[in-house]
Structure 1
Amino acid sequence: MRTQLTTGDGRFDPSLGAIMSERRQLINLAYRLLGSLADAEDVVQEAYVRWYAMSPPQQEAIESPGGWLTKVASRICLDQLRSARARRESYVGEWIPEPLPDRTEWTEGRPGGTAADPADRVTLDESVTMAFLVVVESMTPAERVAFILHDVFRYSFAEVAEIVGRSPAACRQLASSARRRMRASRAVEAPAARRVDVVRDFRRAWETKDIAALVGLLDPDATALADGGGLVNAAPHPIAGGEEIARYLIAVAGRVPEQTILERTVNGRPGLVVQHGGVTTSVIAFGFDGDRIKHCWAVRNPEKLRAWTGAWTGARTSRTVTG
């Protein structure tokens, strides 16, 4: 959504610039709450629609337009989260948050791979890794909103209470419960450089169909989820066990005679992108325990791969797997 910084009679209005400058913050907040960039964009657009539906005197009476937009966007997210569970009960396969590329590779998925508006880019920090977002998915809507607003965006519990519709003390308890979930899920990971090496070794082992090497890189208790959204084939249930995952990957490579595997940054961490005929078909994110892969999240739903379509720039590591 792009808005001209002018009033109805064409005069430049600097206050509109301040309003629109909140867009990136709102996108970052809504993506973390919903796990979907498309839904986050819709939420932010709706928040702006509500702002511009007010009269100028009503707008001028709002002391903090940015705070107002945050409150409105958060409430819209909360409403969506409360209805999302019913929608996802009919979702075919496992639901995985939408993966995001590194900001240097961001595209809108339009013909020609045109660059996205920088304001739409999500800041890739610890709170947007796939491992983080998957745990957030396990929280109740109220827990999620209280935790993200307070622990990630540093809003006070009094401010959170206005959005969630509960007391500050209740919101503190919600955030505390969410924090326990997050702590329970955390593993001690190898340094970043080592994780990059492991993902590279994983790619090479998959390309060469080296099942022993794959098993060696996977934690014995590893799990793999594949999200097709009912639009494409995906594993209907989680795959448990390093050897089982390795065999599944080899079988997938055998069914697709030629696929190109690219090393990419996925939600700020090393990951893989699978292409067939130049078209991105899967994006894979990883979670680690030590220097072994503990979780594989493979997204194949085309609706969640919009940011990955278009031309890739720069020198990239890639190989072709042949059957």
Structure 2
Amino acid sequence: MKSKKFESNISQRDGARDLTVLDAGGVDEVSVIPWSLLLRQKIVQTVGVSRRKATLAVLLSCVFTVSFMITLLVVSLKTVADDLGSTTSIISWAITAPMLAFGVVGPAFGKIGDLWGHKRVFVGGLFVAGVFAMCTAFAWNAPSMIVFRTLSAAGGSALGPAAMAYINRMFDPSERVRPLGYWSFVTAGAPVLGVVAGVPLVAIFGWRTIFLIQAPLCLIGCLIAMWLLGDTERRTNVKFDIKGALLLGVGSVLILLAINRGPSWGFGSSRTSLVALLGVFALYFLFAQSSRRVIRCCHSNGFVRAMSRFLW
């Protein structure tokens, strides 16, 4: 009897077709069916949402979860400082350091995702953010809270570049405008909402409870991302600029430290001047190192014209 195959097209992105062969009466060929693929297809059919949209929703929800917490305590610093027996100027580093981690470590995670795979970076970053969010809830003094918040934000900074990488792979260039708009809205809007919602949330639940809520949300997001996200290809023709990342981080931290501690140390003191000078030197060496490299996009006439019109 002629063999029959029932094909289920799980994914058509990147030109790939995942074929599932079902065993039924009169069918000669038997194959093991990956239960995860069948479960995904069943959920898609039940909910009526394509896998691309479901993946986009999970990516943006996780990004919102970590970005929202960056600025949540901006208006409630005095409450947190009194609770931990510290001062507002010191506790302000619980906001400054995470924002610095987002800006410095985030781009590095984009390159790490190219080397190791964006799924691994996304899930790992979300897991780290959740673990140290739990640690933040049990912080016993100001330094411990600042360290835990910084490590949580450093892990969460991996989500933005990884989410953008998935969007670029899931959607064709003509389809990327809307999902990238959603991505921009979440990454830029979540910190703003954190400032607005911070005061009532801290007043109602307390700042420790908020981080206790964030931790399981991150861990649940990890499990969903591990199940839903597909693996991305790894690039072997790129290198990670460790020296540049270190110079950027050290320079930014030293300059912000001089600005933050200037009122107590004295802006004209030798300590403040030395810290600021070291930060400037670190950023200068970073600029000198980068300026020696050939930036290919600057050799494109279209790119130069577009940037000239933008600046004009």
TM-score range normalised by the length of the shorter chain = under 0.3
| TM-score, normalised relative to structure 2 | 0.28
> Normalized per residue, which structure has more strand?
1
Rg: which structure is higher? 2
> Normalized per residue, which structure has more helix?
2
